[in-house]
């Protein structure tokens, strides 16, 4: 064992040298006073190697490192602060820059019993990178007892030093990638959609909170996916748009990659982050300290396995003070990772009758219907009579669906007379005629946004079209839907000029998914 003893008030200066302070675990090299007092120890422009060492009784500067001193190794040390308000190590920015990303391991920083304040490490100046300490110990170790520019993280970095720490919180899937701000959700917030299908193009909104009060600069978020909800195994990157191998890839929506979103959609976000349609681009977006920001990702289902739940996790690339970093964005306490359940082709069509008294499309139903019949019964003269059907549609077809209706034959009686159709057509519906002579029969659909030249043709209540023997569209979506409801109103009116008889017709509905 080597013991170095220095006289009270001595000043030791080591310049332009090689300094080795080395021992082994059972025989530690100790530098201390000769029984009382303090001394100064300055090391300048020297190559320093220290391993299994101990410092005691240094002056207010402690081990004072300056010039272009380089740290070859600095491990298994033991410092004790002996001067109130002093430092155990004082170091300049040039020293840190001379040993980029140097690491000190297993260093103890403690105080003698009569010390009330002080520092483990004092850094003078601003280096280009950090000096890190790992496995440190003692009652004065860690971030709380250093002094360096850029706090709270700074350039002296400890195991307990804060860093940019984003964590994901709320999320929601949307179908309408053709809108900058989507409006058609695939499920509720924080709920996995159940019927995502192959070739579906989706938008994911995800809120991410910075949890360590550290600014994240130039933050780019990308996505990973896995069938493991903990991401312990099977972690994959969401592929680029051209990927032929990734089961999930970025989609080509209406947005430009890294542009700011225009509106917040999630319940907890407070700041608008960016659209993301690539995982390899760079971003200039800054994630402010402790902010909850909302990101959007456009994602394409590139033949993922059916009957499978996929989980998604953000992954951050960012700049923080002295370098570029990356880390997985873990879920915050109480949160879950976004997920989606992939199914095969889904098409569900339910037709139900509407009971008397149902109020819909600005009418009140007069005649009860069933899923397969509309029994108008005895028609009162010169009185509008309404019945209806309700359609509930679910499909994961990427281009949505079209629901058509046609009439097999006119509304005929057993004597051959017919109830006249209204003049309006599906392409150009008209208001209900005043005082039909001798009769009128037509329909109004509750879908206000059909396809064609005039999609909003039925948006006004009270407009009706005649049934045609060719299929005409009465409900439409350009996107997958889940339990989308449309009501169809049948209206009939007869005057005293209408021939008596039993009238009937057959109405046919055809649902077409658009893959």
> What is the tens place of the pLDDT at every residue in 263-296?
999 999 999 999 999 999 999 999 999 999 999 9
178 C-beta neighbours (distance < 10 Å), count: 12
- The pLDDT of residue 383 is 96
Report the first-to-last Cα separation within the chain, whole angstroms: 80
pLDDT in tens, 414-429: 999 999 999 999 999 9
- The pLDDT of residue 150 is 82
Has residue 50 got a pLDDT over 90? yes
Q: How far apart, in whole angstroms, are the C-alpha atoms of residue 230 and residue 235? A: 10
- The pLDDT of residue 182 is 96
Has residue 450 got a pLDDT over 80? yes
pLDDT in tens, 136-190: 999 999 999 999 998 778 899 999 998 899 999 999 999 988 899 999 999 999 9
pLDDT in tens, 365-380: 999 999 999 999 999 9
Q: Three-state DSSP class for 145? A: helix
Has residue 17 got a pLDDT over 80? yes
Report, as an integer, the average pLDDT of 299-323.
93
Backbone angles phi, psi at 143, to 5 degrees: -60, -35
List CB contacts of 116: < 8 A, sequence separation 6 or more: 84
Q: CA distances (Å), 11 to each of 39, 63, 121, in order? A: 6, 12, 20
Residue (of 413, 419, 405, 414) closest to 450 by Cα position: 405
Percent above pLDDT 90 for the chain: 93
- The pLDDT of residue 152 is 77
Percent above pLDDT 70 for the chain: 100
Q: How far apart, in whole angstroms, are the C-alpha atoms of residue 260 and residue 271? A: 10
Q: Which residue has the tokens 């297993």?
A: 106
Q: pLDDT band at residue 229, thresholds of 50, 70 and 90?
A: very high
Report, as an integer, the average pLDDT of 22-46.
96
- The pLDDT of residue 16 is 97
């Amino acid at each position: 064992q080597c013991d170095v003893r220095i006289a009270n008030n001595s000043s030791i200066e080591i310049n332009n040298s090689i300094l080795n302070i080395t021992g082994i675990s059972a025989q530690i090299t100790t530098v201390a006073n000769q029984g009382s007092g303090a001394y100064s120890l300055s090391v300048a422009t020297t190559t320093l190697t220290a391993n299994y060492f101990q410092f005691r009784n240094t002056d207010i500067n402690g081990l004072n490192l300056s010039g272009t001193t380089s740290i070859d190794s600095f491990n298994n040390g033991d410092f004790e602060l002996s001067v109130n308000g002093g430092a155990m190590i004082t170091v300049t920015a040039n020293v840190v820059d001379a040993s980029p990303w140097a690491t000190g391991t297993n260093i103890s920083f403690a105080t003698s019993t009569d010390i009330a304040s002080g520092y483990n490490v004092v850094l003078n100046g601003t280096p280009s990178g950090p000096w890190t300490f790992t496995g440190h110990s003692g009652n004065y170790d860690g971030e709380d007892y250093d002094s360096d520019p850029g706090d709270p993280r700074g350039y002296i970095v400890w195991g307990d030093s804060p860093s940019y720490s984003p964590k994901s919180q709320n999320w929601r899937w949307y179908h309408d990638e053709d809108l900058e701000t989507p409006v058609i959700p695939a499920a509720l917030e924080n709920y996995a959609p159940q019927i995502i299908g192959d070739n579906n193009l989706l938008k994911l909104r995800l809120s991410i909170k910075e949890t360590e009060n550290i600014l994240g600069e130039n933050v780019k978020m990308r996505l990973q996916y896995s069938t493991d909800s903990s991401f312990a195994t099977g972690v994959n990157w969401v592929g680029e748009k051209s990927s032929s191998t990734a089961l999930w890839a970025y989609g080509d929506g209406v947005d430009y990659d890294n542009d700011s979103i225009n509106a917040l959609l999630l319940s907890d976000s407070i700041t608008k982050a960016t659209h993301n349609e690539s995982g390899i681009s760079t971003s200039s977006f800054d994630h402010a300290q402790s902010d909850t920001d909302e990101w959007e990702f456009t994602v394409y289902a590139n033949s993922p396995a059916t009957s499978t739940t996929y989980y998604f996790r953000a992954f951050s690339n960012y700049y923080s003070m002295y370098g570029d970093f990356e880390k997985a964005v873990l879920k915050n306490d109480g949160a879950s990772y976004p997920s989606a359940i992939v199914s095969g082709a889904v098409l569900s069509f339910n037709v139900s009758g509407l009971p008397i008294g149902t109020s819909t499309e600005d009418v009140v139903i007069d005649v009860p219907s069933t899923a397969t019949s509309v029994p108008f019964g005895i028609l009162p003269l010169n009185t509008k009579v309404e019945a209806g059907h309700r359609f509930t549609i679910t499909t994961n077809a990427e281009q949505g669906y079209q629901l058509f209706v046609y009439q097999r034959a006119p509304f005929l009686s057993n004597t051959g007379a017919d109830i006249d159709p209204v003049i309006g057509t599906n392409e150009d519906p008209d208001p209900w005629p005043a005082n039909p002579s001798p009769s009128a029969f037509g329909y109004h659909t509750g879908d206000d946004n059909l396809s064609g030249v005039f999609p909003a043709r039925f948006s006004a209540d009270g407009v009706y079209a005649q049934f045609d023997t060719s299929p005409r569209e009465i409900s439409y979506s350009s996107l997958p839907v889940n339990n989308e409801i449309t009501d169809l109103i049948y209206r009939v009116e007869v005057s005293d000029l209408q021939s008596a008889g039993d009238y009937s017709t057959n109405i046919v509905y055809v649902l077409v998914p658009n893959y």
